[in-house]
Structure 1
Amino acid sequence: MTEKQNVTDWFIYYELVNFDKHGEAMMSELSCSDVNVHYRNGITMLMLAARDDRLDVAEFLIEKGADVNAKDMGGNTALTWAVEWEHFNIVKFLIEKGADINARDNNDDTVLIEAAMGKNIDIVRLLLDKGADINAGDCRALVYAADLGRLDTVKLLIEKGVDVNARGKSYDAHTALMCAAQKGHLDVVKILVENGADINSKNNEGETALDLARKYGESAEVVEWLEKNTKQAE
Structure 2
Amino acid sequence: MIPEPSGPNGPVLGVLGGMGPQASAWFMMRLAALMPAATEQDHVPAVLWSDPRIPDRPAGRAGTGPDPWPWLLRGVQGLEQAGVGAIVMPCNTAHLWYERLCAATALPFLHIVHAVVDDLARKGVNHGRIGLLGTATTLSLGLYQRELEARGYDCLLLDEAEHARYCAPPIALVKANKEDEAFAPAAQALQILRDRGADAVVLGCTELPLALPPARRTELDAVISDSIDALALAAIAWHAGARV
Structure that is richer in helix per residue: 1
More relative contact order, 1 or 2 (CA 8 Å, 6+ apart): 2
Q: Which has the larger radius of gyration?
A: 1
- Is TM-score (shorter-chain normalized) higher than 0.5? no
TM-score by length of 2: 0.27
Which structure's residues are more often strand, by fraction?
A: 2
